[in-house]
Chains A and B, each alone.
Chain A
Amino acid sequence: MNAIQLADLHKLYGSVKALDGLDLEIPLGSVFGFLGPNGAGKTTTLRILAGLAKANSGTIVINGKSVQPFTANLEIGYLPEDPAFYPWMTPIETLNYFGGVFGLKSSECKTRGNELLQMVGLKDVAKRRVGGFSRGMRQRLGLAQALINRPTILLLDEPVSALDPIGRKEVLELIESLRHECTILMSTHILEDAERVCDTLAILYQGRRLLQSDREALMEQYAAPLLDLELSNGQTKELDTIAEQLKKTTGIIDVKRNGNVLRLSVRDIKTAQTEVLKEILAHGWHFERLDVAKPSLEEIFVKLVGVEGSIQ
Chain B
Amino acid sequence: MSFITAFKKEWLEQRRTKKLLVGVIVLTLFGMTSPLLAKFTPQLLSVIPGASAVAGLIPQPTINDAIAQYIKNTMQFAILLALLFGMGSVASEKEKGTAALVLSKPMPRSSFLLAKFAAQGLTFLLSITAAGIACYYYTYALFGALDPLNWLALNGLLLFYTLIYVAITLFFSALVRMQYLAIGGSFGVLILLGILSSIPGWVNYLPDGLVSNAALLANGLTVAGWQSLWVSLAILLAALTAACLVFRRQEI
Contacts and interface: CB of A to CB of B under 8 A. Distances in A.
Interface in B89-127: 96-98, 100-107, 109
A76 B5 CA distance: 19
Interface string A35-64: 000000000000100111110000000000
A285 interface: no
A52 B104 contact: yes
Interface stretch (B46-54, B139-147, B188-196, B244-252): B244-252
A78 B97 contact: no
Nearest to A93: B12
Nearest to B251: A53
Interface in B200-252: 248-249, 251-252
Given A54-B251, A103-B1, A72 B98 contact: no
Nearest to B96: A84
Contact of B97 (A84, A97, A101): A84
Contacts of B101: 78, 80, 83-85, 98, 142, 145
B13 interface: yes
Contacts of B2: 101
Contacts of A93: 12
Contacts of B251: 47, 52-54
B72 interface: no
Contact of A88 (B5, B13, B109): B13
A82 B5 contact: no
B17 interface: yes
The CB with the most chain A CB atoms within 10 A, among B1, B100, B104, is that of B104
B104 A86 contact: no
A249 to B, nearest CB: 52
Interface string A62-102: 00000000101110101010111110110001000110111
Interface residues of A, number: 30
B105 A101 contact: yes
B96 A78 contact: no
A50 B104 contact: yes
Contacts of A88: 12-13, 16-17
Interface in B124-180: none
Nearest to B15: A88
B5 A101 contact: yes
B43 to A, nearest CB: 45
B196 to A, nearest CB: 36
Nearest to B250: A70
Contacts of B1: 103
B98 A85 contact: yes
Contacts of B17: 88
A103 B3 CA distance: 11
A84 B105 contact: no
Contacts of B97: 80, 82-84
A98 B104 CA distance: 10
A51 B16 contact: no
Contacts of A80: 97, 100-101, 104
A72 B16 contact: no
A73 B104 CA distance: 8
B252 A52 contact: yes
A74 B13 CA distance: 26
Interface in B1-42: 1-2, 5-6, 8-9, 12-13, 16-17
B49 to A, nearest CB: 50
B120 to A, nearest CB: 16
Contacts of B252: 52-53
Interface string A228-251: 000000000000000000000000
B248 A70 contact: yes
A27 to B, nearest CB: 23
A72 B107 contact: yes
A131 to B, nearest CB: 10
A82 B248 CA distance: 24
A92 to B, nearest CB: 13
Given A84-B100, A89-B16, 4 more contacts: A51-B104, A101-B2, A101-B102, A145-B101
23 contacts: A47-B251, A50-B100, A51-B104, A72-B103, A72-B105, A78-B104, A78-B105, A80-B97, A80-B100, A82-B97, A85-B98, A86-B13, A88-B12, A88-B16, A88-B17, A97-B9, A98-B101, A98-B102, A101-B2, A101-B102, A101-B106, A102-B106, A103-B106
